Structure 1
Amino acid sequence: MTHANCPRCGGRLARDNDSGRCAPCQAAERDRLSAPPVVPANFWEHEPVRRALAERHLGRAIRAYRCHPYHGRAPLPQTVVAGWLGITQAQLSRVENGPPLVHLDRLTHWSQLLRIPPRFLWFSLPARLTKVVEHNPVPVKEAGPTETPARTDANLAASSRGGGTTDRRQFHALAALAGIAATGSLDLLAAPQNTARSISMEQVHAVGSLVDEFRRADAAVGANQLCGLAIRMHAQLSEWAAKATYSRDVGEALQATLADLAIETAWLTIDANRRPEARAYLNEAITRARFADDPRMEVRAFAYLALLTCQDRPGEALHAAEAALRSSAGWGTPRLATLLHLRAASTYATLQDMSGSQRALSKAKREFDRGTSEDDMPFLHFVTAQEIKGIEGLAYLALGRPERAAGAFRTITENPSPVLRRNHIYYSVKLADAACRQDNIDEAAWTAMNLLPELGQVSSGRVSLHLAQLRSNLGQPQRSTAATRKFVEAYDQAVQA
Structure 2
Amino acid sequence: MTHSNCPRCGGRLARDNDTGRCTPCQVAERDRLSAPPVVPASFWEHEPIRRALAERHLGRVIRAYRCHPYHGRVALPQTVVAAWLGITQAQLSRVENGSPLVHLDRLTHWAQLLRIPASFLWFGLPDQPYRADIRVLEMGTDDPSSGRILDHIGPPTDTDTVKEASTRGGGATDRRRFNVMAALTGLAAAGHGYLLAGTSDVPKYIGMEQVQLASSLVDDLRQADALAGADLLCDVAIHAHTTLSAWAARASYSREVSEALQSALADLSIESAWLSIDASRRSEARPFLNEAIARARIADDPRVEVRALAHLSLLIREDQPGESLHCADAALRVSAGWATPRLITLLHLRRAHAYAVLGDASGFNREMTKARQALDHGAHEDDEGFVHFVNAQEVNGIEGISYLALGRPERAAQSLRAVTDNPSPNHRRNEVYYTVRLAEAACQQGDVNQAARIALDVLPAVRQISSKRVSQHLAQVRANLAARRDANTTTRQFVDAYDRAVTV
- Fold shared per TM-score above 0.5: yes
- Is residue 147 from structure 1 mapped to residue 154 from structure 2 by the alignment? no
Whole-angstrom CA distance in 1 between matches of 2:447 and 2:316: 31
Which residue of structure 1 lines up, in the alignment, with residue 426 of structure 2?
419
SS in 1 for 2:205: coil
- Is residue 494 from structure 1 mapped to residue 482 from structure 2 by the alignment? no
Which residue of structure 2 lines up, in the alignment, with residue 202 of structure 1?
209
Contact 1:221 1:422 in 2 (8 A): no
SS in 2 for 1:230: helix
- Is residue 316 from structure 1 mapped to residue 323 from structure 2 by the alignment? yes
Whole-angstrom CA distance in 2 between matches of 1:61 and 1:415: 40
Which residue of structure 2 lines up, in the alignment, with residue 371 of structure 1?
378
- Is residue 267 from structure 1 mapped to residue 255 from structure 2 by the alignment? no
Aligned residues: 403
Give 1:76 deviation, angstroms: 4.4
Give 1:144 deviation, angstroms: 6.3
Give 1:52 deviation, angstroms: 6.7
Whole-angstrom CA distance in 1 between matches of 2:464 and 2:36: 38
Whole-angstrom CA distance in 2 between matches of 1:142 and 1:359: 54
Whole-angstrom CA distance in 1 between matches of 2:408 and 2:199: 53
Match runs of 1:261-340 below 5 Å: 261-340=268-347
Whole-angstrom CA distance in 2 between matches of 1:415 and 1:101: 32
- Is residue 480 from structure 1 mapped to residue 495 from structure 2 by the alignment? no
Whole-angstrom CA distance in 2 between matches of 1:323 and 1:484: 45
SS in 2 for 1:198: coil
SS in 1 for 2:485: helix
- Is residue 432 from structure 1 mapped to residue 439 from structure 2 by the alignment? yes
Whole-angstrom CA distance in 1 between matches of 2:196 and 2:166: 32
Contact 1:220 1:420 in 2 (8 A): no
Deviation sequence 1:338-375 (CA, Å, 0-9, x none)? 00000000000001111100110110111111111111
Assess, with a 3 A threshold, how the Cα gap between structure 1 residues 414 and 230 changes in structure 2: closer, same or farther: same
Whole-angstrom CA distance in 2 between matches of 1:243 and 1:300: 27
SS in 2 for 1:207: helix
Match runs of 1:8-407 below 5 Å: 48-51=36-39, 53-56=41-44, 57=49, 59-60=61-62, 75-76=85-86, 87-88=102-103, 107=121, 109-110=123-124, 112-113=125-126, 146-148=168-170, 150=172, 172-176=181-185, 179-407=186-414
Contact 1:361 1:392 in 2 (8 A): yes
Contact 2:183 2:228 in 1 (8 A): no
SS in 2 for 1:197: coil
Whole-angstrom CA distance in 1 between matches of 2:64 and 2:374: 30
Contact 1:52 1:60 in 2 (8 A): no
- Is residue 410 from structure 1 mapped to residue 410 from structure 2 by the alignment? no
* Amino acid aligned to 1:175: L
Deviation sequence 1:38-86 (CA, Å, 0-9, x none)? xxxxxxxx9834227541157459989xxxxxxxx9744599xx9xx98
Assess, with a 3 A threshold, how the Cα gap between structure 1 residues 201 and 284 changes in structure 2: closer, same or farther: same
Q: TM-score, normalised by structure 1?
A: 0.73
Contact 1:442 1:481 in 2 (8 A): yes
Contact 1:295 1:328 in 2 (8 A): yes
- Compute the RMSD of aligned alpha carbons: 3.7
Assess, with a 3 A threshold, how the Cα gap between structure 1 residues 125 and 392 changes in structure 2: closer, same or farther: closer
Whole-angstrom CA distance in 1 between matches of 2:102 and 2:41: 21
Assess, with a 3 A threshold, how the Cα gap between structure 1 residues 141 and 413 changes in structure 2: closer, same or farther: farther
Deviation sequence 1:306-365 (CA, Å, 0-9, x none)? 111111111100100001101111111111110000000000000111110011011011
Give the 4+ runs in structure 1 shifted more than 6 A: 61-64, 140-145, 151-154
